[in-house]
Amino acid sequence: MTKEFENQVVFITGAAHGQGRETALAFAREGAKVAALDVAKPLSYPSYAFGTNEELVSLQKEIESLGSEALILTADVRNSKDVEAAVLETISKFGKIDVLFNNAGICAYGYSHELTEEAWDSMIDINLKGAWVVGRYVIPQMLKQKSGVIINNSSIAGLRGMNRLSHYAASKWGLTGLSKSWAIELAPHGIRVNSLHPTGVNTPMNDGLAAMEGATPIEIAERSAGNLLPVPWVETEDVANAVLFLSSKKSRYITGSEFVLDAGLLTR
């Protein structure tokens, strides 16, 4: 039986752990070849643990154990030269890029008037500029193919304000606008673009944020969310399922949309 994404190529940022890793494995189970990119090193801001090269290597082994091909790549999405090299390496190895999941991102708390410039710039540059940088190099390949799907991982914070998360919300609202603008620009070329808006997701980032705040992950989830359904967060597989749907033929006429995965939070 043919798998849904047989022989398709998926490029995923922030792939070492969390939402990116789960999505990479979900695509691999459906036959996709996966280019998995991660910064794979600590950053000065925020101070919680990021993905590692060891996690990338183990991801590659997992993907290969599923019978699919994997290419692991290390780059900071803010670095145009390194991102360009990663995209070119992917095209050289696999010949195309069918799906881009712009997932790399950070989060940290702070009142707007108390943020340092480093905090503001890091949030905007990784979450928003980074998605644009990756798209800048992937989109020309999709234009050549006259096909492709781009999913930008925003947040509920890309649709509402957030206490002590103004820089995060600004970056995620920016992703919403970027997605809609790309959708307009790229629709004539057969390329669809949507933004994904999860509530809190059960990832290592939750643990990192909790440690920085001196709280438990459950306390952070409850303080930040207030989901309508009685769950503190959604799981990484829920995000992966949404990305696969938005990348599939089942959603062939969905573009320029905000796909909300919020356990009812925004209904309140």
The catalytic site residues sit at 168
Per the CB < 8 A criterion, the answer to whether 152 and 132 are in contact is no
Whole-Å CA distances, 92 to 35, 95, 104, 113, 148: 12, 6, 23, 46, 17
Q: Is 228 exposed, middle or buried (0-12, 13-18, 19+ CB in 10 A)?
A: middle
Structure tokens at 74: 């290390």
Q: Is 74 exposed, middle or buried (0-12, 13-18, 19+ CB in 10 A)?
A: middle
Place of tokens 């969905």: 254
What's the CA gap between 233 and 186, in Å, rounded? 33
What's the CA gap between 231 and 229, in Å, rounded? 6
Structure tokens at 147: 């096909």
